[in-house]
């Protein structure tokens, strides 16, 4: 009996996952189509760009500086054993631009922005504001979801570039004052790895992450139910699902892009 109950529970969870995945796909397609339909809500988009970009800046700066210093410190200790500390800038440039900068920015923005978007839309739905928009002939997806998606697509790559720069500067501080690598050696090694392939990967990932954050957070907000308790549950699910999806997509993007442009790396 216990085995049958477990099997039924797993089966119901799989059905629920498949159903929500289908609903998320249709909702994402609707959001993308709404981007090219009038009217365009430019003031709302600019407001979201400010809230997402400037509002996340302090978090990105703090994350980037300490993550870069931590990576540089760990790498410098290992490289010192082989007498290869001069390669610290090269390794930092590759690690930060390809992986560390995009993934840290994606996770930090997901933790801060995805939760806020889901909670805001969920609160609007529970207070019947979404129904009021529909009653007045306003498409809530175009009015609420699209400005947030456009803002994310524009601002997440910018935040990633800032995180990359701050992390490399943090690595420079460790390289010069802890590992005793000369400034010229460090920056020349960093510059040598600023190749098209590395930069392309480092900018492609945040664009994909921004769509993931927008799709999942808006979908969870619009599909939330059960009042304030349901909004809290949807917010938690949004952050968890967004973070996991970003980590999974990071692997597949790296694998596919490395295969396609390995000659430019």
Query: How do residues 130-150 score in pLDDT, each as one tens digit?
Result: 888 888 888 888 888 999 999
Query: How do residues 54-72 score in pLDDT, each as one tens digit?
Result: 888 989 999 999 999 998 8
CA–CA gap between residue 249 and residue 240 (Å, rounded): 14
Q: Are 112 and 211 contacting, i.e. CB atoms less than 8 angstroms apart?
A: no
pLDDT number for residue 262: 64
Query: How do residues 169-207 score in pLDDT, each as one tens digit?
Result: 999 998 888 888 888 888 988 888 888 888 888 899 999
Query: How do residues 216-249 score in pLDDT, each as one tens digit?
Result: 999 998 888 777 788 888 888 899 999 999 999 9
Residue 245: count of CB within 10 angstroms of its CB: 18
The CA R_g of the chain, rounded to the nearest whole Å, is 22
Q: In the predicted model, is pLDDT for residue 1 greater than 70?
A: no
CA–CA gap between residue 114 and residue 17 (Å, rounded): 20
23 or 159, which is more confident: 159
Phi, psi at residue 36, to the nearest 5°?
-95, 10
82 or 51, which is more confident: 51
Strands (E), 52-181: none
Q: How confident is the model at residue 159 (pLDDT cuts 50, 70, 90)?
A: very high
Average pLDDT along the chain: 86
CA–CA gap between residue 202 and residue 160 (Å, rounded): 8
Percent of the chain scoring above 90 in pLDDT: 32
Token pair for residue 6? 């477990």
Token pair for residue 29? 């397609």
């Amino acid at each position: 009996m216990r085995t049958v109950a477990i099997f039924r529970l797993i089966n119901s969870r799989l059905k629920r996952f498949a159903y929500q995945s289908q609903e998320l796909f249709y909702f994402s397609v609707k959001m993308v189509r709404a981007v090219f339909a009038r009217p365009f809500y430019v003031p709302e988009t600019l407001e979201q760009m400010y809230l997402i970009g400037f509002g996340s800046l302090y978090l990105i700066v703090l994350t980037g500086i300490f993550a870069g210093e931590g990576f540089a410190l760990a790498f410098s200790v290992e490289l010192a054993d082989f007498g290869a500390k001069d390669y610290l800038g090269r390794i930092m440039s590759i690690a930060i631009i390809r992986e560390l900068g995009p993934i840290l920015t994606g996770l930090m923005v997901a933790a801060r922005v995805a939760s806020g978007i889901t909670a805001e839309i969920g609160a609007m739905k529970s207070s019947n504001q979404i129904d009021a928009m529909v009653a007045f002939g306003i498409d809530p997806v175009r009015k609420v979801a699209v400005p947030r998606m456009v803002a994310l697509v524009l601002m997440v790559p910018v935040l990633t570039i800032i995180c990359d720069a701050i992390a490399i500067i943090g690595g420079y501080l460790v390289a010069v004052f802890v590992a005793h690598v000369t400034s010229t050696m460090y920056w020349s090694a960093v510059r040598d790895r600023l190749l098209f392939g590395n930069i392309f990967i480092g900018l492609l990932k945040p664009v994909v992450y921004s769509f993931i954050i927008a799709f999942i957070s808006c979908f969870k907000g619009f599909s939330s139910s059960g009042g304030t308790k349901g909004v809290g549950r949807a917010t938690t699910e949004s952050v968890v699902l967004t973070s996991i999806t970003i980590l999974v997509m990071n692997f597949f993007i790296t694998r596919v892009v490395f295969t396609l442009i390995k000659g430019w790396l």
